[in-house]
């Protein structure tokens, strides 16, 4: 049988997927043990026990500040990325629909969006810090600027690819431009918008952690760059895992929402 | 005075002439089949009526008034594909036209008016043989059922003319025959005026009360684009199902230069 026709099923597929992860964990444990055998005070590859202890410390309320660092960091970061993604999604929806549907808008703003999309967002960060100060606004603005142009262009291309037959049909059914946007283009744009938001999660986290690393006093990115000074791998590693878990949770949630709300876009699971 | 009249209509793109001197009148209640080789302007002719394109010269009147060069609810249309909305159930696809007319702001009726519209849609679905499929999304319908849905969706607006652009071209022969029966029945029972573009000459003569054949009348071998196509044959048929002239069968074989 050809290799491309071999399809793992059920338990085998799960096992195949789990194996590399287990192998990586095992490799880490062995390396960590080897280093600790040489030097019991090794900081580079902390043991699982040390990491659990560090996390417990971070999750405990600090009597000086009155709150647990892990909790306030998570809340601050989630608030920033959540707010930024909400703004980016709303902007993308409006601009993407407009550019995709109206040739007039496309002619007027298409080149502008294309030009903005090629600016590396991190290069804009100093400008944002100067304009908005070092507060929340600059960090949220960085994420918005980083992910919106790509999402706008993706959605505009998707809306523009709606077959002309559909647009003509809607008009022969008496649909105005507004009704067509609302009832034909918007619902067909939504699953794509959610997909594009899912793809934007990764860059959004990159921008968030970069902004927090440079200027912040709370946040997941702030914390890992802070404890870097003390080589605290026992805090950094669990934080990285925690950030990944948050990102995966957001991704899975968005996927579920899309499949629930737009079953027609996923025919194999639809009615 | 016909329902739809073309007076000396020309369509040109730059120096390329697509249609020249189309002069026709379509009577109310007729079933006009439009045939011709590929590239002979059949589709352009249909796009003119839909309003996707405007004539370069000449005038088109619908009901004695100048036709607006924009699609509108007085002209229903069924394309070969992409005619229905994939994100709406069959019933919602049919109600769409009523939603648009009744709710300018939301594009969707509510409450009692929506219930009434849904009843109307269900009756229309039953008329095209989709009584049990109202809740299904188009992706779950076969090709023939999708075309039935597209017809129901168009008819709910009670258009002055129903335009069909190779509506059965992608269907299996058996399904085609069913669709012929359906469209003939709908045409007869509702007094529709239908214009249908088709590649299939037999289909054109079987269904139509009049057959228009588009082709170029003149050819310049050095500049083939300088002459456009027009209705070179115009067969009024007393009743559907008349014999096919041999000249037309010959035309089917060769492409428009």
Question: What angle in degrees, to the nearest 10, is found between the helix axes of A233-261 and A186-214?
Answer: 170
Task: Name the residue among B79, B97, B135 with its Cβ closest to that of A165.
Answer: B79
Lowest pLDDT segment from A28-32, A146-150, B37-41, B123-127: B37-41
Q: Which two tokens stand for residue B74?
A: 């007085």
pLDDT (tens digit per residue) in A109-143: 889 988 988 899 889 889 999 999 888 999 999 99
pLDDT, residue B219, reads 82
pLDDT, residue B230, reads 82
pLDDT grade, residue B228 (50/70/90)? Answer: confident
Interchain CB distance below 8 Å, B82 and A182: no
pLDDT, residue A169, reads 95
pLDDT, residue B252, reads 58
pLDDT (tens digit per residue) in A205-259: 999 999 999 988 999 999 999 999 999 999 999 999 999 999 999 999 999 999 9
- DSSP-assigned beta bridge partners for residue B32: B195, B210
Report the first-to-last Cα separation within chain A, whole angstroms.
Answer: 35
Q: Report long-range pairs for A217-223 (Cβ below 8 Å, ≥24 apart).
A: A218/A72, A218/A73, A218/A76, A219/A73, A219/A76, A219/A77, A219/A80, A220/A73, A220/A74, A220/A76, A220/A77, A221/A77, A222/A73, A223/A69, A223/A73
Segment B27-50 mean pLDDT: 89
B79 touches chain A (CB under 8 A): yes
Give the integer Cα–Cα distance in Å for B40 and B230. Answer: 8
pLDDT (tens digit per residue) in B78-124: 999 888 999 999 999 999 999 999 888 888 888 889 999 999 999 99
Choose, out of B76, B82, B149, the residue to mutate when testing the contact with A (most A CBs < 10 Å): B82
Q: Is the pLDDT of residue A204 over 50?
A: yes
Q: Which two tokens stand for residue A53?
A: 């202890």
Contact A139, A212 (CB under 8 A): yes
Question: What angle in degrees, to the nearest 10, is found between the helix axes of A121-132 and A186-214?
Answer: 70
Task: Please state, in angstroms and as integers, the Cα–Cα distance from residue A117 to each residue in A106, A127, A254, following that order.
Answer: 15, 17, 24
Interchain CB distance below 8 Å, A175 and B100: yes
A165 touches chain B (CB under 8 A): yes
pLDDT, residue B253, reads 53
Question: Which of A79-93, B40-54, B243-257 shows the highest mean pLDDT?
Answer: A79-93
Task: Please state, in angstroms and as integers, the Cα–Cα distance from residue B145 to each residue in B73, B136, B201, following that order.
Answer: 23, 11, 23
Higher per-residue confidence, B251 vs A49? A49
DSSP states of A128-167 as a string? HHHHH-SSHHHHHHHHHHHHHHHHHHHHHHHHHTS-HHHH
Give the integer Cα–Cα distance in Å for B88 and A175. Answer: 15
Distance of CA A260 to the CA centre of its chain: 20
Residue A182 CB burial class (10 angstroms; 0-12, 13-18, ≥19): middle
B29 touches chain A (CB under 8 A): no
Which residues of chain B does A182 touch, with a Cβ-Cβ cutoff of 8 Å? 106-107
Counting residues of chain A whose pLDDT is more than 70, the rounded percentage is 99
Q: Report long-range pairs for B202-205 (Cβ below 8 Å, ≥24 apart).
A: B202/B244, B203/B33, B203/B168, B203/B176, B204/B33, B204/B34, B204/B35, B205/B33, B205/B237, B205/B240, B205/B241, B205/B242, B205/B243, B205/B244
Q: Is the pLDDT of residue B255 over 60?
A: no
Segment B198-223 mean pLDDT: 87
A186 touches chain B (CB under 8 A): no
Counting residues of chain A whose pLDDT is more than 90, the rounded percentage is 77
pLDDT, residue B257, reads 43
Q: Is the pLDDT of residue B130 over 70?
A: yes
Residue B239 CB burial class (10 angstroms; 0-12, 13-18, ≥19): exposed
pLDDT grade, residue A271 (50/70/90)? Answer: very low
Residue A197: CB atoms within 10 Å: 23
pLDDT, residue A63, reads 87
Contact A156, A106 (CB under 8 A): yes
- Length of chain B equals 257
Segment A72-83 mean pLDDT: 96
Give the integer Cα–Cα distance in Å for A170 and A168. Answer: 5
Q: Is the pLDDT of residue B256 over 80?
A: no
Which residues of chain B does A159 touch, with a Cβ-Cβ cutoff of 8 Å? none
A187 touches chain B (CB under 8 A): yes
Residue A176 CB burial class (10 angstroms; 0-12, 13-18, ≥19): middle
Interchain CB distance below 8 Å, A172 and B159: yes
Q: How close is the nearest chain B Cα to the Cα of A183, in Å?
A: 7
pLDDT grade, residue A183 (50/70/90)? Answer: very high
Contact B228, B216 (CB under 8 A): yes
Segment B183-212 mean pLDDT: 90
Q: Which two tokens stand for residue B122?
A: 């269900």
Residue A123 CB burial class (10 angstroms; 0-12, 13-18, ≥19): exposed
pTM for this entry = 0.86
pLDDT grade, residue A270 (50/70/90)? Answer: very low
Q: What angle do CA B60, B62, B66 make, to 5 degrees?
A: 55
Task: Name the residue among A170, A172, A184 with its Cβ closest to that of B76.
Answer: A172
Interchain CB distance below 8 Å, B87 and A265: yes
The SS3 assignment for A98 reads: helix
Residue B167: CB atoms within 10 Å: 26
Contact B233, B212 (CB under 8 A): yes
Task: Name the residue among B87, B97, B153 with its Cβ closest to that of A187.
Answer: B87
B157 contacts: CB under 8 Å, gap ≥ 6: A172, A173, A174, B73, B76, B97, B101
- 3-class DSSP string for B203-253: HHHHHCCEEEEEEECCCCCCCHHHCCEEEEEEEECCCCCCCCCHHHHHHHH
Residue B201: CB atoms within 10 Å: 19
Which residue carries 């040109």 as its tokens? B12
B85 touches chain A (CB under 8 A): yes
Interchain CB distance below 8 Å, B76 and A178: no
pLDDT, residue B150, reads 94
Lowest pLDDT segment from A51-65, B189-203, B212-226: B212-226
pLDDT, residue B241, reads 59
Lowest pLDDT segment from A84-88, A174-178, B57-61: B57-61
Q: Is the pLDDT of residue A95 over 90?
A: yes
Give the integer Cα–Cα distance in Å for B80 and A256. Answer: 34
Q: What angle do CA A60, A64, A65 make, to 5 degrees?
A: 75
Q: Is the pLDDT of residue A269 over 50?
A: no
Give the integer Cα–Cα distance in Å for A269 and A256. Answer: 12
């Amino acid at each position: 049988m050809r290799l491309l026709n071999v399809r793992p099923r059920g338990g085998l597929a799960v096992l195949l997927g789990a194996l590399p992860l287990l192998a990586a964990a095992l490799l880490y444990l062995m390396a960590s043990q080897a280093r600790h055998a040489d030097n019991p005070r090794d900081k580079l590859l902390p043991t699982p026990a040390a990491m659990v202890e560090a996390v417990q410390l971070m999750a405990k309320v600090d009597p000086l500040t009155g709150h647990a660092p892990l909790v306030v960091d998570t809340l601050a970061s989630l608030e920033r990325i959540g707010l930024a993604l909400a703004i980016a999604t709303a902007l993308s929806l409006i601009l993407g629909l407009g550019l995709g549907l109206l040739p007039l808008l496309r002619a007027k703003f298409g080149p502008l969006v294309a030009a903005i999309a090629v600016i590396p967002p991190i290069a804009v960060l100093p400008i944002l810090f100067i304009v908005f100060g070092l507060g929340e606004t600059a960090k949220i603005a960085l994420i918005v600027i980083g992910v919106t142009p790509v999402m706008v262009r993706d959605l505009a291309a998707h809306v523009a690819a709606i077959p002309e037959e559909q647009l003509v049909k809607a008009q022969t059914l008496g649909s105005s431009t507004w009704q067509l946007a609302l009832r034909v283009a918007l619902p067909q744009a939504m699953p794509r918008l959610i997909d594009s938001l899912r793809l934007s999660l990764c860059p959004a986290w990159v921008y968030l952690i970069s902004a927090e690393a440079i200027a912040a006093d709370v946040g997941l990115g702030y914390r890992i760059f802070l404890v870097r000074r003390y080589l605290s791998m026992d805090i950094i590693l669990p934080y990285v895992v925690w950030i990944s878990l948050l990102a995966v949770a957001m991704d899975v949630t968005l996927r579920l929402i899309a499949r629930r709300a737009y079953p027609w876009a996923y025919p194999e699971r639809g009615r | 005075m016909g329902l739809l009249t073309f007076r000396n209509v020309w369509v040109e793109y730059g120096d390329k002439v697509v249609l020249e001197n189309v002069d026709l009148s379509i009577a109310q209640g007729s079933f006009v089949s439009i045939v011709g080789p590929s590239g002979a302007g059949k589709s352009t002719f249909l796009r003119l009526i839909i309003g996707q394109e405007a004539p370069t010269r000449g005038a088109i009147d619908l009901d004695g008034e100048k036709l607006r060069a924009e699609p509108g609810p007085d002209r229903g249309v069924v394309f070969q594909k992409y005619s229905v909305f994939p994100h709406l159930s069959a019933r919602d696809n049919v109600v769409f036209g009523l939603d648009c007319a009744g709710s300018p702001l939301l594009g969707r009726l509510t409450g009692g008016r929506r219930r009434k519209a849904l009843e109307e849609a269900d009756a229309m679905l039953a008329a095209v043989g989709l009584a049990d499929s109202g809740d299904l999304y188009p992706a779950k319908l076969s090709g023939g059922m999708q075309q039935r849905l597209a017809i129901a969706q168009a008819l709910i607006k009670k258009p002055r003319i129903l335009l069909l652009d190779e509506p059965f071209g992608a269907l299996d022969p058996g399904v085609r025959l069913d669709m012929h029966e359906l469209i003939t029945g709908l045409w007869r029972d509702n007094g529709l005026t239908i214009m249908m573009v088709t590649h299939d000459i037999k289909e054109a003569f079987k269904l139509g009360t009049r057959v228009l054949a588009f082709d170029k009348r003149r050819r310049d071998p050095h500049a083939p684009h300088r002459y456009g196509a027009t209705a070179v044959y115009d067969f009024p048929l007393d009743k559907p199902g008349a014999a096919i002239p041999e000249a037309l069968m010959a035309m089917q074989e060769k492409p428009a230069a």
